[in-house]
Structure 1
Amino acid sequence: MRHDRTRRASRIGARLKALCALIGVAALMSVALPALTAQAAAPRVLHVAKNGNDANSGTQASPYLSVNRAAQEAQPGDTVMVHAGLYRETVKPARGGTDESHRITYTNAGDGEVVIKGSEEINSWVKSSGNVWSVTLPNSWFGSWNPYAQGQPNGGGGGTFAGYNAGDVYLDETAYNEKPALSNVQSTANTWYSEVGSSNTTIWANFSGADPNARLGEINVRRQIFAPDVWGLGYITVNGFTIKHAANTYSDFPDSPDRRQAGAISVYGGLKWIIQNNIVVNARTIGIDIGLSNDTWAGNRPGTPRTDFHDTSKYGSHIVRNNYIAKCGQSGIAGVFSWHSQILYNMIEDTNYRNEFSGAETAPIKVHYMNEGLIKGNYVKNSKGGNSAGIWTDWGNQNVRITGNIVMNSPWGYYAEAVHGPILVDNNVFIGNSDIRTLDATGIVFANNLFLDNGRVNTDGSGRDAYYFQPGTMNETTALTSPQKFFWYNNLVQGTTLPDSATDKTQVKEGNFSNVISNARYTATNTQMSLSFDLDASGIKGLTPVTQSRVGVIPRANQSIAADVTTDFFGAAVNTGSVMAGPFAGAHNGTNSFALWPPAGQTVPKPPEPPAGTPVNLSLNANAKATASYQDGTLTAANAIDGNPSTRWSSDHSNDNNAWIQIDLGSTYTLSTAVLSWEAAYAKGYKIQVSDDATHWTDAYSTTTGQGGTETVTVNKSGRYVRMQGVTPATQYGYSLYEFEIYGTPAGATGSGPTFYGDANYGGTAVTLGAGNYDLPQLQAAGIANDSISSIKVPAGYTVTAYADGGFTGTQWTFTADNPNLTTTGNNDAISSLRVTGGGTGGTAGPGDSGGSALRSRANSLYVTAGSSPLVANASTLTAAQRFDLVHLDTDNVAIRAHANNQYVSADNAGAAALIANRPTAGAWETFHLVTNPNGTVSLQAAVNGKYVTAENGGAQPLIANRDSIGPWEQFDLTA
């Protein structure tokens, strides 16, 4: 929180006590939890499925259609079993459980991914100008919450983050960047802007050449995804869901309801929730909140006089474990008054990744008053914001333990603010963070941690009037956090130094070792993290374990640390006779290697795969290398491609306007966009250039009006080398970039497929395309200019259908073999759109093969799955079960062979039954006419009955050929 709130605690304490006095302690104690009001009944299992109906009974044979319908019905002891599919709704439990034996459990049924979104699909975008499209919606369409009319609070005094609201725009699951003016959107790819009038809301978005009506375009509309309207529900379990697109607001200084914490998943003042095994992505601000929402409600939630933060039997004690949380604008997990909660084994990455919210509450994990709590085994990576920490304990947080975590690439790796302690920070791995910081804090014990390549260690401030508590309670008193005392035991430190004692700041330092680690190397992705280093352990001896008795009693708190440090990062016992510095008891002299993630014995959800063909950040490839015309000291070019938003490259400060930085991607790629994250020294004028040989450069983008901050620019070229060529610096300090991200796909990213050449005889620019539809914008994005194809190589089994005009119109040509010179066939430099289908009858694709094509239903935006059961559109990610070969039987007809079992898809029973992959050969029932629709989608017409294949009931039921015409349910995206 903000650094100038020196008297905040006493003001809040007085207000909370006054609020409690209004209703009386006796009244508080006499009011039962809402969770206790329901009558006990035999436990039931309530089913929810995409083929259900909310008028049904909720049985497996007669399921509900919406999760929220079941949430209104569920009683203590019940389980809500949600079957695979996409649900667009907010789930608002009407009641909670009564005790551990009578929880209400919401869980994935285990038959596929359950996705609950706060967004709605928009397929009525209208071309505005250039690459910009717009949609206008009546304000009434949004109901009671219009995100585009909601500012983002900043500063605690009614201020907002200028230019930002609670809305968001997504294309194919990628969130775009909001801009403060329409002119910014017109000039910048992957951005959006909105205006709210008296009657309508209009949103403009720059889709960088894509047609959003032919892709998955969405806007967020719901503030929260799983959150009660009833305050203080207890004993609820939320297990195994994918939660996306919450339109929530920033909770800056959460001391009043208008700035309350409102996560995509929210306990809303509840008691003993378990939130586990979920995927939470793209919350506008907070992913999961586990507290009393704000300070005011901690004294008394209006209308529900039962919450007194002193009475810890009625709130908190939550468990948040084994979740994957990514791309949340403020926090992955936040909680104000989150008493006795446990945050365990979560992977949290890319917090505030668009660098929009550098407020006083930005952190992957941010907790207030989580007294007696535990933060253990989490993997926290990549957060942005000048005022942000990987783990932030702010106010209260007495007797908290922070152990066995990995924190990487944050402005502050760990931050303790306005606390008296004790807080035990032990056995953690901190890598590549700018600072380890405390402010107006005392009583922090750092034991057996590894600090690797971090910046400074700061113990800032002097005193603040902050809470301390009677041990084991929330009964508070306030006092200045001065004088300050910190404890540093048995830490390994490389790349920084521990602070020395100063006036009113005592630094107890015993058994710490610096400069004994060399050659540190690590691999860090969102599924695994490994670390190796060379250790000179010759001088590490005679260390003593860190125990409660050794630390002693922390003043005012009148208690010692939460536990003795008897185990290491992995849970292995510490040998008291041979204690090793750092978090690894088994570290030894010489080379050490450790696999740190995933944690042994824990199952963390696998992060969702991006949709097929989604460009990735090529700058992070292992073989990518960065060089520059000049690099200022330690501010090297490599810093711009290390994935760490806290490190940067800087040019010379001598006003070399022509300074540059370039990236060798290692191979030739099809490049779509570049994202430049500027430090204050940004370029007013610059070019993005592309080359195949690092000698001959082609301009892909040029501007004289650079704005700094984070800029996304369109590239749409193929190449191996990409350069930012400076032209005009905006300041006297040259150019400086935190990150230089290049997004694209391999020129042959889809594997085998036809290759298209810019010159005859297979010369010039070469681009390989997998199965799919490529209108002109998609061809240009792949690096193929309009009317530029002069020769084609077509592998056996593939078919290229080319069109003279965009939109799959005009003269049509079909290629099933190589053609070295299109001049001889009359179609040289004449192709503006094309369709690639294939796999071929001679292919060997089968189970487990990652090639082929996929069909994504326009009915529900899910991929079609094959196997022993009928085909159904129920998958949000691609595996072998969602891949098919399109085998061309003649010019217009295909058979569809499933990779799941190598069987052909049949319109069973002459089309009267659902489609199923169960035929070893293709006959009449297995023949389909492939129709290309004007919007780029395809439809399948069964030859056996002339009917179109439909994703029945909006995709909730298996595919069947029974429609006479083509509508949204009969349209599919054919993807690689």
Structure 2
Amino acid sequence: MTFQYHVAKHGSDSAQGTEQNPFLTINKAASVAVAGDTIIVHEGVYREWVKPKNAGLSEYRRITYQAAEGEKVVIKGSERIQEWEQVEGTVWKVQIPNEFFGEYNPYIEEIFGDWVVYNPGRHLGDVYLNGMSFYEAENLEQLQNPEVKTEVLDHWTETIVPVKNQEQTKYLWFAEVDGKHTTIYANFHESNPNEEFVEINVRKACFYPEQTGINYITVKGFEMCQAATPWTPPTADQPGLIGPHWSKGWIIEDNIIHDSKCSAISIGKEASTGDNYRTKRKDKPGYQYQLESVFLAKQAGWSKEKIGSHIIRNNTIYDCGQNGVVGHLGCVFSEIHNNHIYNIGIKREFYGHEIGGIKLHAAIDVQIHNNRIHDCSLGTWLDWQTQGTRVSRNLYYRNSRDLFVEVSSGPYLVDHNILTADYALDNHAQGGAYVNNLIRGKMEHRKMLDRATPYHFPHSTEVAGFAVTYGGDDRFINNIFVGDEGLEKVGTSHFNGYTTSLEEYIATVNEGGGDHHEFNKVEQPVYINHNAYLNGSEAFERENAKLESTKFNPNLEIVEEGNEVYLSIELPEDIETFLGEVQSTNTLERVRIVDAEFVNPDGSEVILNTDLLGNQREEKSVIGPIANLKAGKNYLKIWG
């Protein structure tokens, strides 16, 4: 027998949890719900960290948490703070007993951990004025004389970029903590904080189990925000504002998630498999500890039967300091689709090598498709063990970088995407297939011969071997490349000098008569054919069939009209006769290191015949992400 429990702001935790006599807190319902039950939460703001106690038992016997239909339900990691005292001018303060925070005081906890590169004393706390997040000052003097920043350093590209929210930079806070009290100072400018709605971060998460193995949970229809989440590198515990905490089979859908200090949705690892040991112990490189975490995870039950297979869909995720979606190891076999992710890592209060709209390590068989990702420090970063991963039909724009694939051996697929950042693609990997994309922007290609990373038996967490990134073994077919004034390395010319078949590669590498050193000298094969190069982009020297209109400017624009997004692009006359064939498992060469084919997660043949708009391609059709592009001007709705 299954039950339906209700939670409402007029309820009581001593009630029965029925619609007529609801519980007061979501946690009370979580303590009694078991597999097959549904928890319906009614309108209101719930200031609690929901910690599911019981697990579902299968896809069909889940525990579902959902907002009542048509009602706005908000779960906050913050508390409202009143009784501010004016200090001087527009600066106010409030003194709070340390007991208020319990065991977790975000105004003591700093941004800390492996791969944190820049942090001038910033903490996990935050102050919000009518929902607007402040910036943390580095000292009290700075708070009293706020600087209006118009530009900051973008650590990714090492260039100066404009601040998107200049007005926000004037709103600063600073905290002092002694043995008894936490004193928060804030510059509210023309606002009186006792007359406005002011909140501060208090809790580490909004919806995150304390125990691992809480499987088959659905979370649907909530707004969740303002959590004091910690930094989440791949070598540490990875709590997010919401997440399954090393479990299987969660569905996180139709939510609005924002203002997480670090990460919004976490589908990552837990602490026993590594907890910032590079930073704490300082005796080994983070790379070594990350290798160890893979084997520790195997001992902790890392397998398809126990971990991963999550679904993250139809969420809106924004205004987070580190990641929209993060996950190492725990993300395996998951699907991330139809999410709108923006404003991730753009405040630049702190910086590290683990920031992105989506940042995954070991994304084995993960399917990332139909997402809209923009205005992020980095759109999507796939790092280590990108195997069986597919990035398909996503829209990227106004990111500092769009896509980064690092130290992985494939096979992975990138098809039918639009990438438009000035820095569109970082390819520090091998074994990829880039098919039917529109790529406007710089493309960086690098080898990584000093870091061997694991690869796996197909569709498994079992490690099959280790390999460095030799570069190459990539496929670029049916793409449209667009250069622009001031942009370099757009196109495929950076593969000049590479071999073009496995047979040629084998023959060349065996001429020297040596062993592993010879493989470092010879460039792996690349399979590059039937791409279009516009506006200064450059082709691979040995590409047979190509369309080169290097002086043709397509005047590419991504246009936002309310919640809808349009592609505006002009194409040359011969684009309609330069037709490309549908690519599939049978046409894409196997990857060399892993010795595996490009297939679906279930092992079946993959056929790349669905374009960005969901239309089916003919056997031969116009190249690029949209099958009905035509010569001349195109103005097409691509989102909304």
Q: Which TM-score tier does this pair reach, normalised by the shorter chain?
A: 0.7 to 0.9
- Shift in Å, 1:461: 3.6
1:278 is matched by which residue type in structure 2? N
From 126, 139, 142, the equivalent of 2:85 is 126
From 285, 300, 304, the equivalent of 2:262 is 285
Indicate whether 1:565 and 2:608 are aligned: yes
Map 1:7-26; keep pairs closer than 5 Å. none
Q: Any idea what SS the aligned residue of 1:219 has?
A: strand
The residue that corresponds to 1:497 in the other structure is: 491
2:248 is matched by which residue type in structure 1? L
From 224, 229, 243, the equivalent of 2:224 is 243
Whole-Å separation in 1 of the counterparts to 2:527 and 2:253: 38
Indicate whether 1:349 and 2:342 are aligned: yes
From 529, 534, 540, the equivalent of 2:565 is 529
Identity of counterpart residues, as a percentage? Answer: 31
Map 1:568-647; keep pairs closer than 5 Å. 568-576=611-619, 578-598=620-640
Q: Deviations over 1:242-278 (max 9, x none)?
A: 00101011123x21xxx32111001100100000000
Judge conservation of contact 2:447–2:469 (CA < 8 Å) in 1: no
- Shift in Å, 1:521: 2.9
1:579 is matched by which residue type in structure 2? S
2:451 is matched by which residue type in structure 1? R
Judge conservation of contact 1:437–1:460 (CA < 8 Å) in 2: no
Indicate whether 1:64 and 2:59 are aligned: no
The residue that corresponds to 1:443 in the other structure is: 431
Whole-Å separation in 2 of the counterparts to 1:357 and 1:65: 38
- Shift in Å, 1:520: 2.3
Map 1:887-926; keep pairs closer than 5 Å. none
Judge conservation of contact 2:118–2:352 (CA < 8 Å) in 1: no
- Shift in Å, 1:101: 1.7
1:538 is matched by which residue type in structure 2? D
Judge conservation of contact 2:448–2:469 (CA < 8 Å) in 1: no
The residue that corresponds to 1:405 in the other structure is: 394
Judge conservation of contact 1:436–1:456 (CA < 8 Å) in 2: yes
The residue that corresponds to 1:333 in the other structure is: 325
From 530, 533, 536, the equivalent of 1:514 is 533
The residue that corresponds to 1:264 in the other structure is: 241
Q: Deviations over 1:180-211 (max 9, x none)?
A: 10111111131111111111111111111210
Q: Any idea what SS the aligned residue of 2:260 has?
A: coil
Q: Any idea what SS the aligned residue of 2:352 has?
A: coil
- Shift in Å, 1:313: 0.2
Whole-Å separation in 1 of the counterparts to 2:332 and 2:4: 31
Whole-Å separation in 2 of the counterparts to 1:317 and 1:336: 13
1:512 is matched by which residue type in structure 2? N
Indicate whether 1:210 and 2:199 are aligned: no
Judge conservation of contact 1:347–1:526 (CA < 8 Å) in 2: no
Whole-Å separation in 1 of the counterparts to 2:297 and 2:40: 30
The residue that corresponds to 1:318 in the other structure is: 310
- Shift in Å, 1:596: 1.0
- Shift in Å, 1:497: 2.6
Whole-Å separation in 2 of the counterparts to 1:378 and 1:111: 25
Q: Which moved more, 1:489-498 or 1:79-88?
A: 489-498
Judge conservation of contact 2:120–2:350 (CA < 8 Å) in 1: no
Map 1:703-782; keep pairs closer than 5 Å. none
- Shift in Å, 1:306: 7.8
Whole-Å separation in 1 of the counterparts to 2:342 and 2:69: 26
Q: Any idea what SS the aligned residue of 2:144 has?
A: helix
Structure 2 CA distance for partners of 1:313 and 1:526, relative to 1, 3 Å: farther
Indicate whether 1:538 and 2:574 are aligned: yes
Q: Deviations over 1:701-723 (max 9, x none)?
A: xxxxxxxxxxxxxxxxxxxxxxx
Indicate whether 1:428 and 2:417 are aligned: yes
Q: Deviations over 1:618-643 (max 9, x none)?
A: xxxxxxxxxxxxxxxxxxxxxxxxxx
Structure 2 CA distance for partners of 1:196 and 1:505, relative to 1, 3 Å: farther
Judge conservation of contact 1:239–1:275 (CA < 8 Å) in 2: yes
Q: Deviations over 1:939-969 (max 9, x none)?
A: xxxxxxxxxxxxxxxxxxxxxxxxxxxxxxx
Judge conservation of contact 2:118–2:350 (CA < 8 Å) in 1: no
The residue that corresponds to 1:161 in the other structure is: 119
- Shift in Å, 1:353: 2.3
Whole-Å separation in 1 of the counterparts to 2:466 and 2:610: 34
1:464 is matched by which residue type in structure 2? R
Q: Deviations over 1:520-554 (max 9, x none)?
A: 23313672211111111415524222221221211
Structure 2 CA distance for partners of 1:444 and 1:295, relative to 1, 3 Å: farther
Judge conservation of contact 1:53–1:63 (CA < 8 Å) in 2: yes
Whole-Å separation in 2 of the counterparts to 1:61 and 1:288: 33
Judge conservation of contact 1:517–1:533 (CA < 8 Å) in 2: no
Judge conservation of contact 1:394–1:416 (CA < 8 Å) in 2: yes
Whole-Å separation in 1 of the counterparts to 2:92 and 2:135: 15
The residue that corresponds to 2:375 in the other structure is: 382
Judge conservation of contact 1:270–1:291 (CA < 8 Å) in 2: no
Whole-Å separation in 2 of the counterparts to 1:423 and 1:132: 53
- Shift in Å, 1:457: 3.8
Structure 2 CA distance for partners of 1:402 and 1:445, relative to 1, 3 Å: same
Judge conservation of contact 1:395–1:419 (CA < 8 Å) in 2: yes
Structure 2 CA distance for partners of 1:409 and 1:353, relative to 1, 3 Å: same
From 384, 407, 426, the equivalent of 1:418 is 407
From 438, 453, 463, the equivalent of 1:466 is 453
Whole-Å separation in 2 of the counterparts to 1:71 and 1:356: 36
Whole-Å separation in 2 of the counterparts to 1:457 and 1:589: 29
Whole-Å separation in 2 of the counterparts to 1:294 and 1:432: 35
- Shift in Å, 1:493: 1.0
The residue that corresponds to 2:173 in the other structure is: 192
1:547 is matched by which residue type in structure 2? S
2:624 is matched by which residue type in structure 1? G
TM-score by length of 2: 0.82
Judge conservation of contact 2:73–2:223 (CA < 8 Å) in 1: yes
Judge conservation of contact 1:152–1:160 (CA < 8 Å) in 2: no
What runs of 5+ residues in structure 2 fail to find an aligned partner?
147-169, 275-289, 484-489, 498-521, 535-551, 600-605
Whole-Å separation in 2 of the counterparts to 1:424 and 1:305: 26
- Shift in Å, 1:143: 0.5
Q: Any idea what SS the aligned residue of 2:182 has?
A: strand
Whole-Å separation in 2 of the counterparts to 1:44 and 1:248: 33
Whole-Å separation in 1 of the counterparts to 2:562 and 2:142: 32
- Shift in Å, 1:588: 1.0
Whole-Å separation in 2 of the counterparts to 1:537 and 1:182: 62
1:195 is matched by which residue type in structure 2? E
Whole-Å separation in 1 of the counterparts to 2:100 and 2:119: 26
Q: Any idea what SS the aligned residue of 1:214 has?
A: coil
Structure 2 CA distance for partners of 1:589 and 1:300, relative to 1, 3 Å: closer
2:246 is matched by which residue type in structure 1? G
Judge conservation of contact 1:463–1:482 (CA < 8 Å) in 2: no
Q: Any idea what SS the aligned residue of 1:69 has?
A: helix
Q: Deviations over 1:883-938 (max 9, x none)?
A: xxxxxxxxxxxxxxxxxxxxxxxxxxxxxxxxxxxxxxxxxxxxxxxxxxxxxxxx
Q: Deviations over 1:100-148 (max 9, x none)?
A: 2210000011141100100000111110111111111111110011001
What runs of 5+ residues in structure 1 fail to find an aligned partner?
1-41, 599-976
- Shift in Å, 1:312: 1.7
Higher relative contact order (CA 8 A, sep 6+): 2
The residue that corresponds to 1:619 in the other structure is: none
Judge conservation of contact 1:409–1:434 (CA < 8 Å) in 2: no
2:214 is matched by which residue type in structure 1? L
Map 1:82-101; keep pairs closer than 5 Å. 82-101=41-60
Q: Deviations over 1:14-54 (max 9, x none)?
A: xxxxxxxxxxxxxxxxxxxxxxxxxxxx1100000011011
